[in-house]
A and B are shown apart, each in its own frame.
Chain A
Amino acid sequence: MSVTNPRPADIMAAMVDYILSQHPSRFTAETLPRDESLMELGVLDSAGVIEFIVFAETTWDIQISDDDITKDRMGSLEKMSTLVQEYLARKA
């Protein structure tokens, strides 16, 4: 995976790997929902969300703005992946 120009599928795969390894739950790579809130599913608590944000910022060398730390922008893995892609596109 290229950190500077990752494909959307690579971003999603990295996020899923992170969630499964750092926040174990009943889900597997196959069953972890991509379009639901991980907080509402009980996978992440409020501290876990912060850890996830810092993971994304560190992995892709981006700085997520406070304005984007909302359920609309980060409320699922798919939304989070889209957000990361937007930040990377702005960097390019």
Chain B
Amino acid sequence: MQLIDLLDYPALHYSPASTAGILDCSLRTGVLPHGQYAFALARDHAVYLARDPLGCNKLFFGRNSSGDVVVANRVARAWQCGVPLSAIGSCPPGHVLSVSGDGIRRITGQDVSDMAADPELNVGEFQRTVGAALNHAFKWLASEFEDCRFAVCLSGGLDSSVVASFAAEHLPGATAVSFTYLDDDDLRRHARGEPAHQLASASDDFRSAARVASALSMPFLPVVRSRQAVAGAVRSSVELSQDWRDFNVHCATVNLFLAQDMRAAFRDTRVVVLTGDLMNEFVCDYKEEHVGGSVYYRIPRVPSDRRRKYFVRGLDAGDREIGVFWNYSLIACQPFAVLAGYYMRVPARMLDQPDIKWELNSPLLASPVVPHVSRSKTRAQVGGKDQGTLGIYHQLDIGEEDLRRVWRDQFPGESASACDDLIQLGRYRIPSYVADQ
């Protein structure tokens, strides 16, 4: 049994440890460190697989006809290497599995989404701890990626503005990057040199982002597209996000545009792209959207702590950030990944407060940006007139069934059910395994 290792996503684990060191430590303690990583090691006639606690980096595996163990961040790559789709599984987040002639065993693991809340959470202490954890993470980034250019995806909302605030302090020269659709007249004006944020058809979120960047004295890279550009981005959005569900594909479309322009702006440079992702899941403040009489992104009507559990659990499936950016050799970094353990402690009674995210996180903002942050912003793909990317997909009448067909097109010869079964009840399919003693 050989290991065919096709894993290529960069690993970020905020420590000097090697992958072997992380594996050994997790075998001793039963816990994997926070971060973004997925790795495979051949050892003792078995292949060990390990994946970060939130499932930021995807880890697919299966055995080909020769019995080799193929591992990849992209399911399509494992499939192209001879593993039938029905034989491809995903390593669960926060787990170590071993694959050997005896089958698949769970060596260790725990689910972040099952962590208990703290009914007596002290907000002041919480904020100090979170601030310290972010400071540590950004110092590590500055050191680890000393030779890289940094960019921050800035939507104008609280989450990305917090990331931008820390980037401005720790990562000199970091550039803020923001996206908006423009109408045809404004696209011409922008091409003639008029600043995009001063144009009438630019979104309010984009204007907020420009103000936040200015307040932090960060260079600002505007990314603009016509609404017609979406139709040409659908296939790539599905393939790169490894998903057909609309909320992830729509977001991937925005990230695709950002990635294309960042790669063009920073040629021949290693770029680390920082995003404010994950916080919406941690405080479960997503809302469903209504467009043209249709409801999109329906939110489960269950108590908030249960909702958070399933939002966090659902981070496993979909690759709308890291997968999209890495396709352009951009290293996506989600700094809030280091905070999962803290935010899972926030009790339901606090999650139910309408402005809880602002109360918890606004102290993390650099003070000059506070007046410019859009407090209502939640989803990057909804911002803007006519509800942004979601609204355009709606106008184009591209629904989830269409996206599912695009997904299936990647795997000619495979049945529809084999393609669809890869995502089951909100997660990538986990193969049956035996739990180790």
Q: Does chain A bind chain B?
A: yes
Q: A residues within 8 Å of B by Cβ?
A: 39, 45-51, 54, 66-67, 69-72, 74
Q: Name the CB-closest residue of A to B400.
A: A45
A51-B301, A54-B302 are contacts. A66–B424 as well, Cβ < 8 Å? Answer: no
Which single member of A45, A66, A70 contacts B298 (CB below 8 Å)? A45
A46-B245, A47-B300, A70-B430 are contacts. A54–B306 as well, Cβ < 8 Å? Answer: yes
Q: A50-B310, A66-B111 are in contact. List 10 more A-B contacts (CB 8 A).
A: A39-B425, A46-B245, A47-B299, A49-B425, A49-B426, A51-B302, A66-B313, A70-B424, A70-B429, A70-B430
Q: How far is the CB of A73 from chain B (nearest CB, A)?
A: 9
Tell me the bound Cα distance from A45 to B294 in angstroms. 14
Q: Name the CB-closest residue of A to B432.
A: A72
Q: Does B92 contact A (CB under 8 A)?
A: yes
Cβ contacts under 8 Å, B426 to chain A: 46, 49-50, 69
Which single member of B92, B245, B301 contacts A66 (CB below 8 Å)? B92
Q: Does B386 contact A (CB under 8 A)?
A: no
Tell me the bound Cα distance from A46 to B430 in angstroms. 18
Cβ contacts under 8 Å, B245 to chain A: 46
Cβ contacts under 8 Å, A45 to chain B: 298
Q: How far is the CB of A88 from chain B (nearest CB, A)?
A: 20
Cβ of B300 and Cβ of A50 under 8 Å apart? Answer: yes
CB-defined interface of B99-122 with A at 8 Å, one 1/0 digit per residue? 000000000000101100000000
Cβ contacts under 8 Å, A71 to chain B: 421, 424-425, 429
Cβ of A66 and Cβ of B302 under 8 Å apart? Answer: no
Tell me the bound Cα distance from A71 to B113 in angstroms. 19
Q: How far is the CB of A25 from chain B (nearest CB, A)?
A: 15
Tell me the bound Cα distance from A37 to B76 in angstroms. 26
Cβ contacts under 8 Å, A50 to chain B: 300, 302, 306-307, 310, 426
Cβ of B298 and Cβ of A69 under 8 Å apart? Answer: no
Q: Does B427 contact A (CB under 8 A)?
A: yes
Give me 30 A-to-B residue pairs in the complex whose CB atoms sit less than 8 angstroms apart, sorted by A's number.
A45-B298, A46-B425, A46-B426, A47-B299, A47-B300, A48-B300, A49-B425, A49-B426, A50-B300, A50-B302, A50-B306, A50-B307, A50-B310, A50-B426, A51-B300, A51-B301, A51-B302, A54-B302, A54-B306, A66-B111, A66-B113, A66-B313, A67-B430, A69-B426, A70-B424, A70-B425, A70-B429, A71-B421, A71-B424, A74-B425
Tell me the bound Cα distance from A46 to B426 in angstroms. 7
Tell me the bound Cα distance from A25 to B143 in angstroms. 57
* Most A C-beta atoms less than 10 A away, residue of B300, B303, B421, B429: B300
Q: How far is the CB of B351 from chain A (nearest CB, A)?
A: 15
Q: Name the CB-closest residue of A to B245.
A: A46
Which single member of B301, B306, B427 contacts A69 (CB below 8 Å)? B427
Tell me the bound Cα distance from A48 to B425 in angstroms. 10
Cβ contacts under 8 Å, B427 to chain A: 69
CB-defined interface of B276-320 with A at 8 Å, one 1/0 digit per residue? 000000000000000000000011111100110010010000000
Cβ contacts under 8 Å, A67 to chain B: 430
Cβ contacts under 8 Å, A46 to chain B: 245, 425-426
Tell me the bound Cα distance from A91 to B202 in angstroms. 58
Tell me the bound Cα distance from A50 to B301 in angstroms. 9
Q: Name the CB-closest residue of A to B417.
A: A40
Tell me the bound Cα distance from A84 to B309 in angstroms. 20
Q: Name the CB-closest residue of A to B426.
A: A46
- 6 tightest Cβ-Cβ pairs between the two chains A and B: A50-B300, A47-B300, A54-B302, A47-B298, A71-B424, A50-B310
Q: Name the CB-closest residue of A to B110.
A: A66
Cβ contacts under 8 Å, B298 to chain A: 45, 47
Tell me the bound Cα distance from A47 to B432 in angstroms. 25
Cβ contacts under 8 Å, B430 to chain A: 67, 70
Cβ contacts under 8 Å, A66 to chain B: 92, 111, 113-114, 313
A47-B299, A51-B300, A54-B306 are contacts. A69–B425 as well, Cβ < 8 Å? Answer: yes
Q: Name the CB-closest residue of B to A54.
A: B302
Q: How far is the CB of A53 from chain B (nearest CB, A)?
A: 8
CB-defined interface of B71-84 with A at 8 Å, one 1/0 digit per residue? 00000000000000
Q: Name the CB-closest residue of A to B435.
A: A67
Q: How far is the CB of B405 from chain A (nearest CB, A)?
A: 16
CB-defined interface of B396-437 with A at 8 Å, one 1/0 digit per residue? 000000000000000000000000010011110110100000
- Name the interface residues of B7-52: CB closer than 8 Å to any CB of A: none
